[in-house]
Amino acid sequence: MDKITEISFQIILYAGNGRSCAMEAIQEAKKGNFNEANRLIEEAGSELSKAHGFQTKLLQEEASGNEQSINIILVHSQDHLMTAMTVRDLAIEIIEIYRNK
């Protein structure tokens, strides 16, 4: 497996973990468990930060003049990360709606 594919799978892994935590946080808020919802949002942020770290590594390599080959797995990983970040952002807003209900 080449370096790009390995990094892509790391991005997918951590982005998926972050998305799952964000979705779980919404469910906890729905039940009124706001401490757990907050903990899960923090965990989501941590997981997404790990994914973003791998993405940043790729960007730095590219900026340094080390062009990378792009494959469909890399494209998928970027889509997965951006979607997961959006889910986390929306989860924060949804939790606030439940909190103020």
Catalytic residues: 76
Tokens describing residue 51: 């994914």
The tokens for 90 are: 């929306």
Q: What is the rounded distance in angstroms from the CA atom of residue 42 to the CA atom of residue 78?
A: 21
Task: Say if residues 84 and 17 touch (Cβ distance below 8 Å).
Answer: no
Separation in Å, CA 27 to CA 50, 55, 57, 93? 24, 29, 33, 13
Q: Identify the helix (H) or strand (E) that includes residue 101.
A: none
